[in-house]
Structure formats: structure tokens, C-alpha cells
Amino acid sequence: MTSEIFEFLGSLHPLLVHLPIGFILLTFLVDIFIKKKNNAVKGVITLGWFFSFLSGAIATLFGWFLGSNNYYFESQIDIHKWSGIAFVGIAFIIWLLRFLNFHFSRFFSRFINLTVLILVLVTSHYGGEMTHGKGYLLKNLPYVKKELNQKILLADKDNPLDSLYVYEDMIYPVLEEKCIACHNQNNTYGGLNMTAYESLIKGGNNGAGIMKGNPYQSAIFKRVNLSQNHPKFMPPSGTPMNYDEVAILHWWIDNGAKRKIPLVKFRNDNSIRKLVEEKYQLDLKEKSYLETLKLSVVPDEKLKLLNEEKFQWRFLTNENSLLDLKFTAKKISVNDLKSLDQIGEHIAWLNLSDCQLTDDMLSHFSKFTNLTRLRIQKNRLTDKGIKFLNDLENLNELNLYGTRITDASLEVFSQMKGLKKIFLWNTRVSANGIKSFKSLNPAIEIITGL
Ligand code: HEC
């Protein structure tokens, strides 16, 4: 009960502080502008100092109550508190001296007025910073650079997207900036320490900080989601969390609040995905293998070595680093394949269909490490040759229609990590074989014609 009364009186402080400011300014004006100071004027000035002192003392007392709610940082309060107290002390002394008819020289009077004016400015400025946030005074001036409020979380080679996590990379930095000064090992207001994941989840004196899967049962979310005037709103001073930060916090708790949810999970959720892409400049689109590949340009002199009567080629991308290559003659030889060795890593798509390719020739393909699409249909290939394709980790499309492979090759396919699509029409693979393969490898599409 009493603590509530103190809390109420504390909340009157921001209102009451305007009284001493008004009284003292009025007193200054009388002192400066009324040149002829008869006893009545002097009486008014003395009374002015008295009311400045009295209202200042009450405001300071209520300010003390507010400060002891622990809603503000000690370091934040310090200057405000001591300059306020100095103001009250000086006002009291000046009133007393005037009351006792002490003679003020003009110089002394001006000196006192100036000192007190400075104290009022300092006190109210630091008080303003506590209620309106740091930098409030100048932030609306046209030449002051506005903070864009756009964070940049760049995914690059050293920091690929899948190694960024929602909690570590998006939520914790916000808590650190806006909450942890009051909720750490030393200052554990409300019994809540947010420095470690475990203690954040556990919460403070009033139970769970975070209820996984339920934002509206989670004290952390509830407190930042209150209206800013609510006495329980967090943070009680300093910059509040903004809409995006609250939305991400909500998403994280709703999705289980696990420590290691990778950012790429945002992909599946359109509402949050747009927000994250926009605000954090992240590109969440899934990249194909070729898009992530960084190869140099294919050297011209190496391309010239290709026999133009037998090979047709084009670049797949503007970087001129990846090739789509097609064999156009009737019969391919081992030497033709060897002529590709120099540019082996640049071949992304390869079409060697219907050119009398043999099983043995397939042993040569391990040099084509970046092959993603391979067309070798209509050749007399058997399971023996398919074994050589096992190493092509990035291959995702394979066309084998019209070859002589059987169910034995299915085993090889299921070991090829990148495979997404196989054309098996008109081969010796059985319908049953395909059925059981599909149930074991649902991600791989098999095309068997009609
Ligand atoms: C300036 C200090 C300060 C800052 C900054 C601050 N808090 Fe608090 N917090 C307190 C105080 C004091 C209490 C205890 C009084 C109360 O419950 O309101 C508290 C209590 C809480 C509680 C209730 C704990 C319990 O179980 O009773 C939660 C939850 C909380 N804060 C969350 C936050 C979050 C989230 C942030 C950052 C967005 C934050 N706080 C920033 C001072 C602060």
C-alpha cells in the first residue's frame, strides 16, 4: 500500500518540476525588468525565491520516490539529481538572505541569477533525456542525421546465411542494447537476468520470461507490447523496442523460441520474411548451386581448343564462367572427351545424347565437378557405366532415357546427394523398382513417360 502511494507521488514528479521553473523565471523577469525596486517589488522577488524553493523541494522529494522505483539507471539520474538539489539549496539560501534583508549588489544579484539559470537548464535537460530518450533535444532539427533504423546483417562467404540465427543475431543484440543494463548478473531488477538464454527463458520473480510457443504468456513479450504509458511497460526508460523488433520477438517465441533457429526459417513465413528482407537487407531467396558458385571466366584460348565441328557451346550466365556444352557429331571418342579436361570445372550443363557414348567413357566424368545437368540418353549405357557418376555431387538433373540400365542403378541414384530429377523412360528399370525407390527418396522426381 505505502509503496503504491510512493509510486503515485513519484509519477507526479514530471508534472511538478514545471512549477519551480515557472516561479524562478518569473522572479528573474521581475528582477531584470522592474528597474525601480521599491519595497513591494523586493517583497515580490523574495516571495518568488520562496516559492521556487518550496515547489523545487517538493518536486525533488517526489523525484526521489520516482528514482527509487529503480526505473532509471543510477548514472542517468546522477547529474539531474544533484543539479536539482543544488537549485533547491541555493533558492533556499537566497530566500533566507532576502528575508533577512541582506543587501544584494547588482553584480552579486546577476551572478546568482545566471548560476541558477544554468542549474535549471542542466537539470531540465537531463530530466528530459530520461523521459524522452537521449538526444531528444536536437533530433528534430533538419540538419541532424536521422537514424535510419535499418540494421545490416550481411550474409557472405565468411558468414553464410545458414550460420545466422534468430536469437543470437537478431534478438540478443536488441536485448543487449535495450534491456540488459537493468537485467544482468549485478542488476537483476525483477529477479530477471537476460544475459544468458537459459535465464531469459526462466524469467524473474513473477515466472516464465518466455513460454515457448506462446508470446502472450511470456513476460518479456507482454512487457514490451504494453502501451508505453503503462507503468509496467519495458524498458521504463531509454529507447523502447520498435515494431520490427517486437514482431521478430513474437515470431521467435511463437516458433518455439529455440536457441538455434536459423534465419533461413523466415523463408517459409511470408509476413516476417518481407520484414526481415527489408529491414536487415537480407536476401532470403534460396540459391541454386550454380548461383553460389564463384568461378573465374573461361579463358578464351582454352575455348578455342574445342573442335567447333563437334561441339556447340554457350555461356549460362553473364559472368561467362559456366558453360552449356553439346556434342553435335555422330560418334564421340575418348579423345573428344579429353579435349574437355581443360574446361572441366566450367561445364555446368552437358549434352552427349545419341553419340555412341560407352560405359567406359563415363569414367571420365569425375573431372566435371560442377556438372548440374547431364543428358546422355539414347546411348548403349548399362549399370556398369552409371557407377562412375556416383561422384557427381552437384548433379541435379540426369537424362538416361533409351539406355539399358536396370534396377541396379537405382542404388547409385539414391546415393547421389544433389539429384532432383531423373528421366528413365524406355529403360530396363522395373515399375516395382521405381515404386520402392520413390518411397525411399521422395525428393527425387522420376520421369518415365506415359
Ligand atoms: C532502466 C532499467 C530497466 C530497463 C532498461 C529494463 N527493465 Fe525490465 N524491469 C526493471 C525493473 C525495475 C523491474 C521490476 C519492476 C517491475 O516489474 O516493473 C523490471 C521488471 C521486468 C520484468 C518482470 C520480471 C518479473 O518476473 O517480475 C520483465 C519481463 C522485464 N523487466 C523485461 C524487460 C525487457 C524486455 C526490457 C528491454 C526491452 C527491460 N525489461 C528493460 C527495469 C528495467
Cis peptide before 235 (omega within 30 of 0): yes
Question: With bands split at pLDDT 50, 70 and 90, how would you rate the model's confidence at 378?
Answer: very high
Q: In a mutational test of the pocket of ligand 1, which residue from 186, 189, 201, 244 has the highest number of ligand atoms less than 8 Å from its CB?
A: 189
- pLDDT exceeds 60 at position 157: no
Going from the Cα of 210 to the center of ligand 1, the distance in angstroms, rounded, reads 14
pLDDT digits (tens, 9 = 90+) for 339-355: 898 898 899 999 999 99
Residue 407 sits in a domain of what CATH number?
A: 3.80.10.10
Q: Both 260 and 319 in a single domain?
A: no
Percent of the residues in the chain that have a pLDDT greater than 90, as a whole number:
58
Going from the Cα of 189 to the center of ligand 1, the distance in angstroms, rounded, reads 6
Q: Both 225 and 86 in a single domain?
A: no
Q: Give the separation between CA 20 and CA 16, rounded to whole angstroms.
A: 8
385 within some domain: yes
Return the pLDDT at 279: 79
For residue 314, what are the β-bridge partners? Answer: 324
Q: Give the separation between CA 205 and CA 191, rounded to whole angstroms.
A: 5
286 within some domain: no
Return the pLDDT at 149: 46
Look at ligand 1, atom 43, and give the residue with the nearest C-alpha.
182
Look at ligand 1, atom 14, and give the residue with the nearest C-alpha.
190
Q: Both 263 and 337 in a single domain?
A: no
Residue with cell 531423373: 422
Low-confidence winner among 68-82, 205-219, 333-347, 381-395 (lowest mean pLDDT): 68-82
Q: In a mutational test of the pocket of ligand 1, which residue from 72, 177, 183 has the highest number of ligand atoms less than 8 Å from its CB?
A: 183
Q: Both 176 and 113 in a single domain?
A: no
Q: Both 438 and 305 in a single domain?
A: yes
Nearest atom in ligand 1 to the alpha carbon of residue 222 is 29
Q: Both 228 and 353 in a single domain?
A: no
393 within some domain: yes
Nearest atom in ligand 1 to the alpha carbon of residue 73 is 1
288 within some domain: no
- pLDDT exceeds 80 at position 100: yes
Q: Both 273 and 321 in a single domain?
A: no
Q: Both 270 and 182 in a single domain?
A: yes
Return the pLDDT at 148: 46
105 within some domain: yes
Q: Which domain holds residue 370?
A: 300-447
Nearest atom in ligand 1 to the alpha carbon of residue 207 is 26
Q: Both 273 and 372 in a single domain?
A: no
Q: Both 182 and 81 in a single domain?
A: no
Per the structure, how many domains does the chain have? 3
Q: Give the separation between CA 6 and CA 12, rounded to whole angstroms.
A: 10
Q: Both 262 and 309 in a single domain?
A: no
Sheet with 421-423: list strands edge to edge. Answer: 311-315, 323-327, 347-351, 373-375, 397-399, 421-423, 445-447
243 within some domain: yes
Going from the Cα of 132 to the center of ligand 1, the distance in angstroms, rounded, reads 18
Going from the Cα of 224 to the center of ligand 1, the distance in angstroms, rounded, reads 9
- Sign of the torsion angle spanned by Cα atoms 289, 294, 296, 300: positive
Q: Both 180 and 111 in a single domain?
A: no
Nearest Cα neighbor of 419 from 445, 439, 440, 381 is 445
Where does ligand 1 bind, in terms of residues with CB under 6 Å? Answer: 70-73, 178-179, 181-183, 189-192, 203-206, 209, 219-220, 223-224, 232, 234-238, 241
First to last CA, the chain: 82
143 within some domain: no
48's CB contacts (< 8 A; 6+ apart) are 23, 24, 26, 27, 30
Mean pLDDT for the stretch of residues 415-421: 90
Q: Give the separation between CA 366 and CA 445, rounded to whole angstroms.
A: 23
Going from the Cα of 185 to the center of ligand 1, the distance in angstroms, rounded, reads 14
292 within some domain: no
Q: In a mutational test of the pocket of ligand 1, which residue from 71, 223, 228 has the highest number of ligand atoms less than 8 Å from its CB?
A: 223
Domain boundary pick from 94, 113, 132: 132
